[in-house]
Amino acid sequence: MQLRPIATFSAIACAALASPSLAQDVSVPADVVEQAADEDRDRGGPPEGFGETVFDGDFLTIGVGGAISPSYTGSDEYVFSALPVIQGSFGGVRFSPRAAGLTVDFIPNPDEGVGFDVGFSARVRSNRADRIKDDVVAQYGELDRAIEVGPSVGVSFPKLLNPFDSLSIKTDVMFDVAGAHGGTVVSPSISYFTPINRGVATSLTLSTEWADEDFQDYNFAVNPAYFTGAGASPLAAYDPDGGGFTSAGATLLVGVDLDGDVTNGGLSFVTILGYSHLLGDAADTPFTSVRGSRSQFLGVLGLAYTF
């Protein structure tokens, strides 16, 4: 089944979203196609209606999507982003976009049973680095972009309710190596994927994010001395309490193969809807509580082509 273009645009959603909880891996499991095709090989062939797929060996997917997302973490104003993406697998090593960056998985999934993901993720976090639509928030200055790198691990359980579905649990632990916030971010998620028919597939992802004190101070503290506008600071000083959860959210993805056959590659269409609720200091900072909203929404439309 053509799951990887769907995963591609899940990652486009992550890349577009400033809200941390939706900037997670919402991609569907990368090897559901192989797991589904492998199920009946001991009975002399693939499942009925499925033969060799474009994803059985090396492949490459390229795509572009358009996303509507908050202009910064906690904003109630939205911006449009156009996002190119590339994804593929070569020699058993898979790479896919995730959260404004890239994830590489070095462990091929087995033909049967539970699969494990072990690799690394890297991303650029651009919260309040540019495109701040709120005029008051913009006058507190822009933040530097953080470059976050760290291990990515996960486990996938195929064939839970049907021969082609999968439940995946994944976690990224990432460290800022650029010296912006200088902190640590932990991003766990759980995703359920299932095809609807030969040409349509869907996944639901629940995700959350925990960040340490350095991250919280950098992103959510308010210092009136930094206000560059006329007169006194319109926002009160705010000092975050320390490390804690920043958000929790859900993302629904639907992918449609445009020729009705997800096994043969080609062109696919993806739509994504996401909601995130900010927690802790991310919700209490005046950047959110006074100037923005705890509720963060995401919408994505995209096209991808698999070779």
C-alpha distance from residue 252 to each of 4, 64, 175, 205, 206 (Å) = 16, 19, 28, 7, 9
User: How high is the pLDDT of residue 29?
Assistant: 34
The pLDDT value given to residue 111:
67
pLDDT of 163:
86
Burial grade of 271 (CB within 10 A; 0-12, 13-18, 19 or more): middle
d(CA 275, CA 296): 6
- Token readout for 304 is 């991808």
Residues of the chain with pLDDT under 70: 1-53, 55-56, 99, 111
pTM listed for this prediction: 0.83
- What is residue 245's predicted lDDT score, i.e. its pLDDT? 98
Q: Map out the domains of the chain with their CATH numbers.
A: 4-306 (2.40.160.40)
Residue 251 backbone phi and psi in degrees, to 5: -135, 130
Structure tokens belonging to residue 14 = 């992550």
Beta bridge partners of 63: 85, 304
Spatial contact of 262 and 198, defined as CB atoms under 8 Å apart = yes
Q: Are 109 and 93 in contact (CB under 8 A)?
A: no
List, for residues 39-68, the tens digit of each pLDDT value.
Answer: 333 333 334 444 566 766 788 888 888 999
Q: How far apart are CA 104 and CA 89, in angstroms?
A: 10
Contact present, 120 and 152 (Cβ < 8 Å) = yes
Confidence (pLDDT) at 99: 62
